[in-house]
Amino acid sequence: MRRVLHWPRTLASRLSLIFLVCLILAQALSFGAQSYERYESAKNAMLGNLETDVSTSIAILERLPAVERESWLPRLARKNYGYLLNEGEQGMPMSPGDLPIAVPSIEEALGPDYPVTFSDIPGPKKHFQAHLTLKDGSPVTIDVRPSLAPMSPWLPAVLLGQLLLMLGCTWLAVRIAVRPLTRLAQAVENLDPNAHAVQLDESGPSEVAHAATAFNAMQKRIADYLKERMQLLAAISHDLQTPITRMKLRAEFMDESPEKDKLWQDLGEIEHLVREGVAYARSVHGATELSCRIDLDSFLDSLVFDYQDTGQAVELTGKNGALIEVRPHALRRVLVNLVDNALKFAGAAQLEVRSKTNQGISILILDRGPGIAEAELQEVLKPFYRVESSRNRSTGGTGLGLAIAQQLAVALGGSLTLSNREGGGLCAELQLGVVRP
């Protein structure tokens, strides 16, 4: 199966790959250039020493008595070559086109006074020998064993250290480069015109600061645009209340008739819709209410008792015993909207408090009504959206009750989610943030 290499998907991995490959290539080129220069320098020094050493050694052997030459051989021997007082081993003649680099140096060192021949010596470790004859006719063989200069034992550790340093520098550079983009992406994901605007840090490089400034300006324009539209909605809804009141007064003086009843009912629905419009516009600014610490159990008991005093089937289960920082009027409006919604479609409601570890608390409003289709659970939280099978004119639904509850839940720093219950009915869960003991 053929494997295809893919370009990394994330910016961090792409930058890391580019930086790391470039640094490794640059380091490899630098190391190669240094190694080549070291090899050339060592070769030139070795060949220069070889010429001087061979000419000196042959001159010493030439002047020594024949009986003393054997004792001098260990002194004249070097790491890569030595001297033999015989004709050497039988080898293969060297090819003129493939001579070792030491051959010209040996010929230069001996000069025309000592004719020399070279032969390759086969074996486990290939080497060659130079054969010559002293003035007194004694044979001398120079046994040359070419070898590369050994690698320094500390070099692998240095190379590993350089690689680790490149990895660290690459990680640091990528982290510094990608961190502003990560913060910007998180800010965009958390952007909610209905919640408190969180200003992006405008410090850092000029490009990052410019992007953060542009994002903050965009966030402010969106908030101003929403505020203007909500103010417009509130103004229109408020101004409509006066002509509606006049129309209701005039309808009072009409003679009793079916048309009067229908007109009165229509005016009541219009008035209810206007009031809900004003409430929705005000819910956007629910965050302006000051927070205070309340006893949640006492707060919910008071709410449930108010309903029970009017004969409504509302009950509370579960005790939390915690104090929470919250905007009480906004919280009460959320719960009232959800309980009223449950009473309207099920005739009864049940409040249940649940604590969640490190996630605050959840207040559940449960009913056994018709529920909502799964595809519409998110849609009903939008303004003026009504489920036609249940919220029709006879119910007086405007499509703003759940939208107001959603807006205020966000203003409280929480969230509102809807789900259908097993066996029928709806569960509205209001999740709040930190709980203080």
Q: What is the pLDDT of residues 371-383, one digit of tens each?
A: 888 888 888 887 7
Taking residues 113-133, report their average pLDDT: 82
Residue 335 has pLDDT above 80, yes or no: yes
Residue 214 has pLDDT above 80, yes or no: yes
Taking residues 271-286, report their average pLDDT: 64
Residue 35 has pLDDT above 80, yes or no: no
Question: Is 11-144 assigned to CATH 3.30.450?
Answer: yes
Give 4's pLDDT tier (boundaries 50, 70, 90). Answer: low
CA separation, residue 221 to residues 209, 215, 216, 287 (Å): 18, 10, 9, 18
More confident residue, 313 or 191: 313
Residue 236 has pLDDT above 70, yes or no: yes
Taking residues 253-260, report their average pLDDT: 79
Pairing between β-strand 313-317 and β-strand 348-355 as defined by DSSP bridges: parallel
Task: Give start-end residues of each CATH 3.30.450 domain in the chain.
Answer: 11-144
Q: What are phi and psi of 322, to 5 degrees?
A: -120, 155
Task: Give start-end residues of each CATH 3.30.565.10 domain in the chain.
Answer: 287-432
Residue 287 has pLDDT above 60, yes or no: no
Answer yes or no: are the C-beta atoms of 50 and 146 closer than 8 Å.
Answer: no
Q: In whole angstroms, what is the distance from residue 200 CA to residue 412 CA?
A: 21
Helix, strand, coil fractions of the chain, as percent rounded to 5 = 55, 15, 30
Q: Which of 153-167, 182-196, 364-378 has the highest mean pLDDT?
A: 364-378
Residue 129 has pLDDT above 60, yes or no: yes
Give 282's pLDDT tier (boundaries 50, 70, 90). Answer: low
Nearest of 79, 126, 130 to residue 103 by alpha carbon = 130
More confident residue, 101 or 283: 101
More confident residue, 359 or 296: 296
Count Cα atoms within 13 angstroms, Cβ side, for 85. 17
The topology (CATH level 3) of 287-432 is Heat Shock Protein 90 (3.30.565)
Nearest of 115, 118, 121 to residue 96 by alpha carbon = 118
Residue 150 has pLDDT above 80, yes or no: no
Question: Is 194-284 assigned to CATH 3.30.110.30?
Answer: no
More confident residue, 393 or 316: 316
- DSSP letter at 253 equals T
Residue 399 has pLDDT above 70, yes or no: no
CA separation, residue 312 to residues 72, 272, 427 (Å): 122, 21, 19
Q: What is the pLDDT of residue 392?
A: 45
Q: What is the pLDDT of residue 9?
A: 73
Least confident of 61-65, 285-289, 346-350, 381-385: 285-289
Task: Give start-end residues of each CATH 1.10.287.130 domain in the chain.
Answer: 194-284
Residue 437 has pLDDT above 70, yes or no: no
Least confident of 67-71, 121-125, 273-277, 343-347: 273-277
Q: Which of 26-40, 46-60, 131-145, 229-243 has the highest mean pLDDT?
A: 131-145
Q: What is the pLDDT of residue 3?
A: 56
Residue 405 has pLDDT above 60, yes or no: yes
Least confident of 77-86, 322-331, 387-396: 387-396
List of residues 6+ apart from 222 with CB closer than 8 A: 191, 193
Q: Which residues pair with 419 in a beta bridge?
A: 427
Percent of the chain with pLDDT over 70: 85
Q: For the chain, give the mean pLDDT.
A: 79
Taking residues 193-217, report their average pLDDT: 75
Residue 388 has pLDDT above 70, yes or no: no
